[in-house]
């Protein structure tokens, strides 16, 4: 039973990675579309952003916060506290929550 569950999770994970890597090239091709299409937004880019990029952004926020907390004493002593909080916490937060859906991916 446990072996079957592990296989299912492994195959699901591999499938997700395949979808991510194959869809990123098609999304990159959409960056060179017409001006009117860019103003309206692209449905495929919005879906990919919502399904793949936003959850990855949430993980990046959590990971950045953990690494910022660990490195906080060193960055404070080194004089780059503001830069470290901006790069590790603020930028991933803005990328995930403030950026318009489907833009900048």
Q: What residue ranges do the domains of the chain occupy? A: 2-98
* Nearest-angstrom CA–CA distance, 79 and 105: 32
The 10 Å Cβ neighbour count of residue 47 is 14
pLDDT value for 86: 96
Is it the case that residue 101 has pLDDT exceeding 60?
Answer: yes
Q: What is the pTM of this model?
A: 0.59
With cut-offs at 50, 70 and 90, classify the pLDDT of residue 42.
confident
**Cα–Cα distance measured from residue 53 to residue 35, given in angstroms and rounded to the nearest whole number:** 23
């Amino acid at each position: 039973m446990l072996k079957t569950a592990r296989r299912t999770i492994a195959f699901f994970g591999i499938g997700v990675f395949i979808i991510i890597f194959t869809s990123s090239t098609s999304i990159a091709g959409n960056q060179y579309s017409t001006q009117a299409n860019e103003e309206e937004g692209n449905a495929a880019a919005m879906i990919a952003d919502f399904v793949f990029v936003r959850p990855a952004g949430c993980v990046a926020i959590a990971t950045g916060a953990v690494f910022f907390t660990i490195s906080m004493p060193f960055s404070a002593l080194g004089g780059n506290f503001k830069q470290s909080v901006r790069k590790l916490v603020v930028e991933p937060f803005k990328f995930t929550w403030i950026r318009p859906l489907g833009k900048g991916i």
